[in-house]
Amino acid sequence: MGSTSLLHLLLGVVLALLSVSLVEGEDAYKYYTWTVTYGILSPLGSPQQVVLIDGQFPGPQLDLVTNENVVLNLVNKLDEPFLLTWNGIKQRKNSWQDGVLGTNCPIPPNSNYTYKFQVKDQIGTYTYFPSTSLHKAAGGFGGLNVYHRSVIPVPYPYPDGDFTLLIGDWYKTNHKVLRESLDSGKSLAFPDGLLINGQAHTTINGDQGKTYMFRISNVGMSTSINFRIQGHPLKLVEIEGSHIVQNTYDTLDVHVGQSAAVLVTLNQPPKDYYIVASTRFSRKVLTATAVLHYSNSNSPASGPLPSPPIYQYHWSVKQARTYRWNLTANAARPNPQGSYHYGKITPTKTIVLSNSAPLINGKLRYAVNKVSYVNSDTPLKLADYFNIPGIYSVDSIQTLPSESTPASIATSVVPTSLHDFIEVVFQNNENAMQSWHLDGYDFWVVGYGFGQWTPAKRRTYNLVDALTRHTTQVYPNAWTTILVSLDNQGMWNLRSAIWERQYLGQQLYLRVWTSERSLANEYDIPNNALLCGKAVGHNNP
């Protein structure tokens, strides 16, 4: 009798623990079905065709928790092939899900593809957007926020609310017309306006005395933006997955493809205040406004809009150099960020990439080390997996620029080895801002400088607490250096985040490779992988 009672007691304890874990446990999987369609909206006041995700512009916001798995069925109802890429999500061991034309076949019209990926060991502010056929100029973008697991704290008080602000330049012209202009060899005109969350004017509501997180992403095509809130300082706490030393700013420069998170306390008199985004470094300044509305406000926003920085590039560089890794804070993992001493590692390879805008066959192209990238009908990742020859070349692009090399077109790949630690220098000899993004990784931005990079510039690098991020700006007639630990096997896109430049060839792929085929290094090809080009007819597992 006593043993039976004890058994019942133990069973009750186990059931109680299970019920607690079911209530408090964090979901391992998130399932979505999204349908991509066209729609007619008027973001800048004139009706135009836009790309909708599940009928929304911008698309639905993905709110995830570190290490959750995403199973997302994307149904393409457009009249042309389509892909989404997950900007800043590392796709650990899984470049199969990266959603760019070097890794994935595009989803044909009236068809679908199910993405399956994990937000492994990440926390922060990210986005998604279309990677195909200049669809980004029509929409299809959205916010992607990865929150911390409850067992791992963040280095700031948990905010009372969370707002995602997708800010970017916008054209009234249809994306197909813009694409035809680029195909004909013409550059795009200056954008027609700026949007905040798909609108020229919007309202954010909050309570006096509370602190909110504002997640700011530049989802535009070409222009850097400056962000500011009337009467409210911005405490910068996170940039693209890095927890940083928490400085306070009046305004923030956010370049194309970049994201940042700030804390804002509503500690001013109860009224409405302007939220302002404006273009930087442009002769014509475009501005979009939103309103920060205190819930107890009885007064509309008034007074002049808060001013942008007076100074230009040197001011922006100075601000960028104030961003520092918080060495004692964790990110998604429990170990402190600073426990990885990147500055003590000797790079195995230096790659210097110089951008240019040559005419090739009488048409404008954009190039890296004089090579302008063209997409193959067969994704490079599939060519690698199925050993299909002739799809790409590892000899077409040099890892150092040469002025004597004529400009050419190629499907260019830079070969690297798994566990290489590389130094990449972006050399910008043009008078325009550049912005560079690397899929599959974050990287340490260790140096900025004007003029020509030389090995002597390494003395200026920050080898202690440079932050990690996935997209870095390069100022006109200047250079930026990043360090990358190549610990993620796959085929990874290194591209201009300025979409006209990406579309006309300012990109390449890093092949991070090892001869050992192991699930410890990389997952097998998905059983639902789409096949196209010369991969058609090859057997999926």
Every domain of the chain and the residues it spans? 340-533
Residue 26 is predicted with a pLDDT of 54
Q: How many whole angstroms separate alpha carbon 1 and alpha carbon 3?
A: 6
Residue 19 is predicted with a pLDDT of 36
Decide: 123 and 147 in contact? Cβ < 8 Å.
Answer: yes
Residue 334 is predicted with a pLDDT of 86
Peptide bond into 58 cis (omega under 30): yes
Buried b (16+ CB within 10 A) or exposed e, 470-507: bbbbbbeebbbbbbbbbbbbbbbbbbbbbbbbbbbbbb
Decide: 305 and 287 in contact? Cβ < 8 Å.
Answer: yes
Residue 541 is predicted with a pLDDT of 60
Number of helices (H), then strands (E), in the chain: 5, 35
Full pLDDT tens readout for the chain, 541 residues: 444 444 444 444 433 343 333 334 456 999 999 999 999 999 999 999 999 999 999 999 999 999 999 999 999 999 999 999 999 999 999 999 999 999 999 999 999 999 999 999 999 999 999 999 999 999 999 999 999 998 999 999 999 999 999 999 999 999 999 999 999 999 999 999 999 999 999 999 999 999 999 999 999 999 999 999 999 999 999 999 999 999 999 999 999 999 999 999 999 999 999 999 999 999 999 999 999 999 999 999 998 999 999 999 999 999 999 999 999 999 888 899 999 999 999 999 999 999 999 999 999 999 999 999 999 999 999 999 999 999 999 999 999 999 888 999 999 999 999 999 999 999 999 999 999 999 999 999 999 999 999 999 999 999 999 999 999 999 999 999 999 999 999 999 999 999 999 999 999 999 999 998 899 999 999 999 999 999 999 986 6
Q: How many whole angstroms separate alpha carbon 299 and alpha carbon 201?
A: 17
Q: Which residues pair with 301 in a beta bridge?
A: none
Q: How many whole angstroms separate alpha carbon 163 and alpha carbon 486?
A: 33
State pTM to two decimals.
0.94
CA distances from 356 to 351, 369, 435 (A): 16, 8, 13
Residue 125 is predicted with a pLDDT of 98
CATH architecture designation of domain 340-533 = Sandwich (2.60)
Task: Retrieve residue 363's tokens.
Answer: 């048409």
